[in-house]
Amino acid sequence: MYELEYSMPSSVNDAVAEIKKSSEAKYLAGGMTLIPTLKARLSSADMLVDLKGANLSNVSVSSSEIVIGSMTRHCDVASSSEVLSSLPALAKLAGGIGDHMVRNCGTIGGSLANNDPAACYPSAVLALDATIITNERAITAEDFFVGMFETALNENEIITEVKFPIPEKASYIKFPNPASRYAMVGVFIAKKANGVAVAVTGAGENGVFRCSEIENALNSSFNVGSIDNVEISPDGLNNAIHASGSYRANLIKEMAKRALNEMI
- Is 123 an interacting residue with respect to ligand FAD (CB under 6 A)? no
Task: Print the binding letters for residues 59-78 with ligand FAD: x by CB under 6 A, - otherwise.
Answer: -----------x---x----
Q: Is 98 in the site for ligand FAD (CB under 6 A)?
A: yes
**Residue 9 touches ligand FAD, criterion: CB under 6 A:** no
- For position 158 contacting ligand FAD by CB under 6 A, the verdict is yes
**Among residues 25, 80, 90, 109, the one that binds ligand FAD under rule CB under 6 A:** 109
Q: Cα separations (Å) of 260 from 192, 246, 254?
A: 14, 22, 10
**Residues facing residue 22 across a β-bridge:** none
Ordered DSSP codes for 96-158: TSS-HHHHHH-BHHHHHHHT-TT-SHHHHHHHTT-EEEESS-EEEHHHHEEETTEESPPTT--
The CB-nearest residue to ligand FAD is 110
Least spacing, CB of residue 210 vs ligand FAD, in Å: 18
Q: What single letter denotes the amino acid at residue 221? A: S
User: Nearer to ligand FAD by C-beta: 208 or 217?
Assistant: 208
Q: Smallest distance from the beta carbon of 219 to ligand FAD, in angstroms?
A: 27
Q: Are 206 and 147 in contact (CB under 8 A)?
A: yes
- Minimum CB separation from ligand FAD for residue 112, in Å? 8
| Orientation of helix 245-263 relative to helix 212-220, angle to 10° | 30
As measured in angstroms, the least distance from the Cβ of 77 to ligand FAD is 11
Q: What is the closest distance, in whole angstroms, from the C-beta atom of residue 160 to ligand FAD in the complex? A: 7
Could you say which residues in the range 207-226 bind ligand FAD, by CB under 6 A? none
How many whole angstroms separate alpha carbon 186 and alpha carbon 259? 10
Minimum CB separation of residue 237 from ligand FAD in Å reads 19
- Nearer to ligand FAD among residue 70 and residue 80 (C-beta): 70
Distances (CA, A) of 11 to 44, 99, 113: 24, 30, 19
User: Could you say which of 15, 159, 185, 232 contacts ligand FAD (CB under 6 A)?
Assistant: 159
Query: Which residues lie near ligand FAD (CB under 6 A)?
Result: 26-34, 51, 70, 74, 97-98, 102, 105-107, 109-111, 113-114, 119-121, 153, 158-159, 180-182
